[in-house]
Amino acid sequence: MKSSFYLQILHQIKEKSGKPTQHTFLDSYLGNHHPRYPISAPILRALAREWVRAHRDFPAVEFASLLTELIQGESSTEKFMAGILLDYSLPSQRKFNPKIFDEWLNHLEGWAEIDAVCTNKYTRTELVAQWQKWKPLLLKFSKSKNINKRRASLVLFCSPLSQLENKALSGAALENVDRLKSEKEGLITKAISWVLRSMVKYNRKALETYLRENGHTLPKIALRETRVKLETGRKSNPKST
């Protein structure tokens, strides 16, 4: 039986949107075939902010259970909402066991859903705060047969590495890059590019050392975009005028 909190959020999503859509031209772009409610991101974010504001004392374990219900929902919209709630969650609400991500990723498909749940303020704080729990989990994801978990093993590093210098995180991220760099799927090659570029500002020395020693073995797009970011601060060279 679904909790009243989940049902309330789903009701608000439905109330602010129309019927779910499926099999549109966005399917191939977003990387999944889950139905979506026609509701804008700003409205979803407003709903999430209001929910967190009204539930400031919501315990971490119950918060994780609510996120599980959303992530196991039929629509991508529910899964996106879980990621937005993680982004707005209070520090006390983030103190659940990160092992639950292993279950969540069984219900996420494609870059849009994975990135919504795996790149936010939660990962920015909790990968550091709960590193001893996260470290073996990220290694496990990188070796998974599930490509969505392999992508997660990379993008989970992006938010924290873009905000702070951390040798433990940058070292583990580069180990996962090295483990996955031979894969050809865009879901992985683009994630490699993203995590490397996220290191440019605060973890530049480790990145430059890795590129000198391993650049020739990286996916070409990842190497090109990372070098451009190092040189210009941009993902790609600006168009010439």
2 residue type, one letter: K
Q: Check residue 234 and give its pLDDT.
A: 82
* Phi, then psi, of 36 in degrees rounded to 5: -130, 140
Q: How many of the other CB atoms lie within 10 Å of CB of 8?
A: 11
Q: Which of 24, 32, 189 is nearest to 117 (CA)?
A: 32
In this structure, the number of other CB atoms found within 10 A of the CB of residue 166 comes to 19
pLDDT tens string, the chain, 241 residues long: the values are: 899 999 999 999 999 997 776 655 455 566 778 999 999 999 999 999 999 999 999 999 999 999 999 999 999 999 999 999 999 999 999 999 999 999 999 999 999 999 999 999 999 999 999 999 999 999 999 999 999 999 999 999 999 999 999 999 999 999 999 999 999 999 999 999 999 999 999 999 999 999 999 999 999 999 999 999 999 988 776 653 3
Two tokens, residue 210 = 């890795």
> Residue 1 has what pLDDT?
87
Q: Are 222 and 186 a contacting pair, CB within 8 Å?
A: no
What domains sit in the chain, N to C, each tagged with a CATH number?
A: 1-96 (no CATH), 114-241 (1.25.10.90)
- Those residues with Cβ within 8 angstroms of residue 154's Cβ, 6 or more apart along the chain or in another chain: 142, 173, 176, 177, 180, 188, 191, 192, 194, 195
Q: Which residues make Cβ contacts (< 8 Å) with residue 134, sequence separation at least 6?
A: 98, 126, 127, 156
Q: Are 89 and 56 in contact (CB under 8 A)?
A: no
Do residues 81 and 13 make contact, with C-beta atoms less than 8 angstroms apart? yes
Query: According to the model, what pLDDT value does residue 210 have?
Result: 98
